[in-house]
Each structure stands twice: as structure tokens, then as C-alpha cells.
Amino acid sequence: MKCSDVYRHICDNLDQRLGTRRCREIRRHLGACPECRAYLESLKATVTLYRSVPTPRLPKGAHDRLIRALRESGCLPAPAARTRRRRAHPPQS
């Protein structure tokens, strides 16, 4: 297997744990080629770095805004429809 083959196939499984013939060949090549080994390590580092950037959680108020949008779209009933057995309140603007 050549460096160019490793370059094309290395990404599918960065840890190369699969037992396929191709993965065994990649592992063998990596054992003898410091260039490809360094490239693989830098790809793993790339993924680690991108994963390390935190993703924000749902902002405060977004749930309520969603429920409002669902009601306006007719996906959820308006609150008055769910509380009709209770004492009627004037709708809030």
C-alpha cells in the first residue's frame, strides 16, 4: 500500500480498529511510514480540537418561543382550549 492509498482510506476509521484487509494493510504501512503516521495523528488532533469548542445549550426562553410558534402554526392547541373547564380568563395580549 502506498501513501496515496493511505491518504484516501485513512479517514474512514481514524483508529484503524476494523479487521478488514485494507485496515491491516494501513496499519502495516503506518508502522513503517512516519509521514503517514504523523498525518494520521494530526487528523485525530484536528477532530479533538473541533470537538473541544463548546456548543451552546438551548437559550433561555427558546422553549417558550417554540411552544408559541407551535401554537401559532396549529401544531399545539391554544392554552385556552386546554383549560376550558377552569374559570375563564381573558386572553393575555
Partner 1 sequence: MRGAQLRTLAEGKLIAAARGGDARAFGELVRRYEQTVYRYAFKLCRDREKAEETFQDTFINVYRKLGSFDGRSRFSTWLYAIVTNNCLMRHRRRKIRDIEESLEALESPGTTAEGKFARAIARWDETPEDVVLDGELRAKIENAIGKLPPQYRIVFTLRDMEGKSTEETARIAGISAEAAKSRLRRARAFLREELTPYMSHPGRRSGR
Q: Which residues bind partner 1 (CB under 8 A)?
A: 2-5, 7-8, 11-12, 35, 38-39, 41-43, 45-53, 55-59, 62-63, 65-67, 69-70, 73, 75-77, 82
Nearest to residue 38, comparing CAs of 46, 28, 27, 30?
30
- Which of 31, 77 has the CB closer to partner 1? 77
Minimum CB–partner distance for residue 34 and partner 1 (Å): 9
Minimum CB–partner distance for residue 26 and partner 1 (Å): 13
CA 12 to chain centre: 17
Question: Is residue 45 within 8 Å of 15, Cβ to Cβ?
Answer: no
Minimum CB–partner distance for residue 64 and partner 1 (Å): 11
Question: Which distant-in-sequence residues (6+ apart) come within 8 Å of 35 by Cβ?
Answer: 3
Cα–Cα dist 33/38, whole Å: 9
